[in-house]
A and B are shown apart, each in its own frame.
Chain A
């Protein structure tokens, strides 16, 4: 079993829909990251959080440390949000980040 599990693997939505991507992890963490990867391959860090909730524009990330679960929400989705969204954790026991397999989001106009 992977240390970081994401769901769904693929998600197709209509423009304007509210989107939720989920992430569960099984290790102790110091921080959880949500990353966005566009088809060109480059990765952009969206959020780094260790508790509670963060909001940036139409993006909201929440984390529940007790349940070892995080969600990424996109409100009023737009075709330019189409990308792969990756959840990653920085664990206490490792220096590196452990990554989920990613969720491929396609937003149709």
Chain B
């Protein structure tokens, strides 16, 4: 079974630039999560999708972050404009349904300079 795929794995951008991350969840998984993990901390949920609908985006900085999952499969997370404090690993995860075992991607490492 293929796992959660993310790209790019690594990205370095200057502050005020924009960046987009892509996630392909495990086939058939209805729930998709984007997490931000700052070095030395546990992951923090940014947004949760159930199919193509947003379940929770209360911790998403909406002035600069946006995410979509238009067809209920792949998802993109965009940051525009980036700030230095956005340097983190962005983890995508999926589960069959909420409450089931959650599977994580390898993460996309962002460095903002």
Decide if A95 is an interface residue (CB 8 Å cutoff).
Answer: yes
Check A43 against B104 for contact (C-beta < 8 Å): yes
Q: Is the CB of B42 within 8 A of A102?
A: yes
Partner of A90, one of B37, B43, B55, B99: B99
Q: What residues of chain A lie closer than 8 Å to B43, measured between beta carbons? A: 43, 86, 99
Q: Which B residues are in CB contact (< 8 Å) with A97?
A: 45, 102
- Chain A neighbourhood of B44, CB < 8 A: 99
Q: Name A104's closest neighbour in chain B (CB-CB).
A: B40
Among A45, A88, A94, A96, contact of B103 (Cβ-Cβ < 8 Å):
A45
B72 CB–A CB distance under 8 Å:
no
Q: Does B21 contact A (CB under 8 A)?
A: no
Give the number of chain A interface residues (Cβ < 8 Å): 23
B109 touches A95 (CB 8 A): no
Q: How far is the CA of A54 from the CA of B41 in the complex (A)?
A: 26
Residue pair A96, B105 in contact (C-beta under 8 Å): no
- Decide: A48 near B56, CB < 8 A? Known: A41-B89, A41-B109: no
Give B69-104 as 1s and 0s: 1 = Cβ < 8 Å from A's Cβ atoms.
000000000000000000001010100001101111
Q: Does B24 contact A (CB under 8 A)?
A: no
Tell me the complex Cα distance, A86–B27, Å.
25
Q: Least Cβ distance of B7 to chain A in Å?
A: 13
Complex interface bits, A28-64 against B, C-beta within 8 A gives 1, otherwise 0:
0011010100001111110010000000000000000
The interface of chain B, by Cβ under 8 A from chain A, is: 33, 37, 40-45, 48, 55-56, 89, 91, 93, 98-99, 101-107, 109
Q: Which are the 10 A-B pairs with shortest beta-carbon distances? A: A99-B42, A43-B104, A41-B107, A42-B106, A96-B45, A101-B42, A41-B89, A95-B56, A99-B43, A95-B55
